[in-house]
Structure 1
Amino acid sequence: MRVAVLDDYQSAFDQLEAARRLADHEVVTFADSVTGADLVERLSGFDAVILLQQRTHLPRPVVEGLDTVRLVSQTGRNTGHLDLEALAGRGVTVCAGGAGSAATTAELTWGLILSSLRHLPDEVARLRAGRWQGSVGTSVEGRTLGVYGLGRIGSRVAAVGRAFDMRVVCWGRSGSQERARAAGYDVASSREAFFAEADVLTVHLPLNDDTRGIVTADDLALMKPDALFVNTSRAGLVEPGALAAAVGAGRPGRAAVDVFDTEPVLDAADPLLALPGVTATPHLGYVEWDVLASLYDTAVDQVLAFAAGEPVNRVTG
């Protein structure tokens, strides 16, 4: 089979054992992203396509233009970026399996928190430019960490906050609140108090129809002028445009983000990147060698099983 590996930004796939397992097939990797008609053209002539997480979307107009693709091998079980009905209608098999790591995203979350509060990007740039100190940082000890969603990732982030002697306050659905009480964390008295009291507030929720836009402009306006809002989950959890407007207005005064409404962000084409109070990274939460190896291994398992006529992890709708 001819196999396309899309959006391999770091050209990582060829460095992994997963690539060698496809030695009997023709594999082409692409390090850039295309959409629409360009994506249809790119996939013409390929039998299978490997997708890394949700980097590539396959909406109906793209799917209807596919002329040779018979398999979409998705890493991770999230298929919200795929038009499954359209793919089924074209006779394309979708296989989705494997999972990322809660640890790597939690690690990045804390990397962003500390980088923002201690002004590390600015200080690194200042030192490289031949200058010395130019800022005063903020410690997390004794401050309030708000964790919205105490699942696999949120629980790890909260545990680190406790280790730093922060007061950990949680919010979310009943499951999150129950886990918070069981772990000895505080549960906010109300949603308004949760946003108003946090010195650092980090969101760890899945993106779906129930959570899209769940953080509103009104929520953000309740935050302290010196508070930090952190999002390493999905940009769609925040009402469109609300975070840039809120930081621009000074409530909260800072944000640290790893996710954007439209990705990849090229030429700094996102309003958040123009704000001095924002520390941003290009969706690095799961971009770590062990995680990529695991995700691509699953994708290759799915390709080989399909080639053998016995698809695994098949998604039916």
Structure 2
Amino acid sequence: MKVHILDDWFDTLRGLPCFRLLDGHEVTVWTDHVAEAAVLADRLAEAEALVLFRERTQVTRDLLQRLPNLRLISQRSVYPHVDVPACSEAGVLLCSNMHSDTPSYAAAELTFGLILAAMRQIPAQMASAKAGHWQMGVGKTLRHRTLGLYGYGRIGREVANYARAFGMKVVWWGSENGRARALADGQTVAASRAAFFAQSDVVSVHVRLKPETRGMITAQDLARMQPGALFVNTSRAGLIAPGALLAALDAGCPGMAAVDVFDSEPLNDPNDPLLSHRNLICTPHIGFVTEDEFDLQFTDIFEQVNAYAAGQPVHMINPEAWNGAA
């Protein structure tokens, strides 16, 4: 098959063991990002299979209508960036392993790394030392402090394990079902949503972005946090009400934020008011960006390509497209 891989910005995949799974296919790897449907369509005119790098490219009805040779889109995890009904209408099968039994250890590690970096002022202390000014302030110890985790899912539970190893107390909040599962597992659930935000020294959000979760963290939630508290988001920026985090930092409650995600990505404006805020530390959406995580994810993705080529597709999201093709 003619397989095109989008958005491999650092040309990483060719060097991973999983890339050998594509032996026998005609593979093209694109290492830059293009958003315009017309330009993408020219690049992908001969593509029979399209491999997506998470949510970096939107697969729209307009794009699909320009790709008559496309038969398969292979990716991993959730797919809010793919117009599934349009795929079905075009006879394009979407395959995506939802990996419901495995957390992203890379994302959990980055989350706790951001917590440590913020509470111990690591970026600012490094900058001060490199500038010849030595120490610039006084950080906070994690031991005996409270970590509030919003969302009782796989990644959140891994972060909780790291927190307990550092001597932190862990308290949970989330959906009614999530809170019930946490209680059934013997976990500590906050007495109320208001208490969760008010009593936590660190709040970290681990929820999937869906229409019903968009904007779920409100300005009122953030305003309840302590001036010395830290808000962490390595999930999706859309979980926070528009403008609420910047306004909260300007108001001083919470006093700090550490994020890996932004409303607009990639964010290349150094003067963006949130990105440049003195009380924000950040990373450029690298929660999943490790060689180990890539090899794990793209093993699944490339195996889906091979399964389709063998006439036995797996992890079908819109099986009607395959039935129609058959």
> If the length of structure 1 is used for normalisation, what is the TM-score?
0.93
Match of 1:254 in 2: 256
Larger deviation: 259-268 or 287-296?
Answer: 259-268
Question: Secondary structure of 2:115's partner?
Answer: helix
Which whole-Å deviations, capped at 9, do the CAs of 1:156-183 have from their partners, x for residues lacking one?
2223223322232211123332343355
Rounded to whole Å, the distance in 1 between the matches of 2:186 and 2:76 is 35
Structure-2 residue corresponding to 1:208: 210
Aligned residue type for 2:27: V
SS of aligned partner of 2:274: helix
1:114 counterpart residue number:
116
Q: Which residue is 2:155 aligned to?
A: 153
Corresponding residue number in structure 2 for 1:47: 48
Alignment of 1:1-317 (within 5 A): 1-37=1-37, 38-76=39-77, 78-97=78-97, 99=99, 101-268=103-270, 270-316=272-318
Q: Secondary structure at the match of 1:273?
A: coil
Structure 2 unpaired stretches of 5+ = 320-326
SS in 2 for 1:46: coil
**Helix, strand or coil at the partner of 1:187:** coil
Q: How many correspondences in the alignment?
A: 316
2:138 counterpart letter in structure 1: V
For 1:62 and 1:153, the matched residues in 2 are separated by: 33
CA 186–302 in structure 1, closer or farther in 2 if over 3 Å, else same: closer
Deviation at 1:52, TM superposition (A): 2.1
Of 296-305 and 159-168, more deviation after overlay is shown by: 159-168
Question: Structure 2 CA distance, aligned partners of 1:49 and 1:126?
Answer: 46
**What one-letter code is carried by the residue in structure 1 that aligns with 2:30?**
F
What SS is found at the alignment partner of 1:314?
coil
Gaps of 5+ in 1: none
Which amino acid is the alignment partner of residue 44 of structure 1? A
Residue in 1 that maps onto 2:322: none
Is the CA contact (8 Å cut-off) linking 2:104 and 2:293 kept in structure 1? no
Assess if the C-alpha contact under 8 Å between 1:140 and 1:166 holds in 2. yes
Question: 2:204·2:232 contact (CA, 8 Å) conserved in 1?
Answer: yes
CA contact (8 A) 1:74 1:299 kept: yes
> Which moves more between the two structures, 24-33 or 183-192?
183-192
Alignment identity in percent?
A: 46
Instruction: Report the RMSD for the aligned CA atoms in angstroms.
Output: 1.9
Instruction: Please report how far the alpha carbon of residue 209 of structure 1 lies from its aligned counterpart in structure 2 after TM superposition.
Output: 1.9
Q: What is the rounded CA distance, in whole Å, between the counterparts of 1:102 and 1:178 in structure 2? A: 23
Structure 2 length as normaliser, TM-score? Answer: 0.90
Deviation at 1:40, TM superposition (A): 2.7
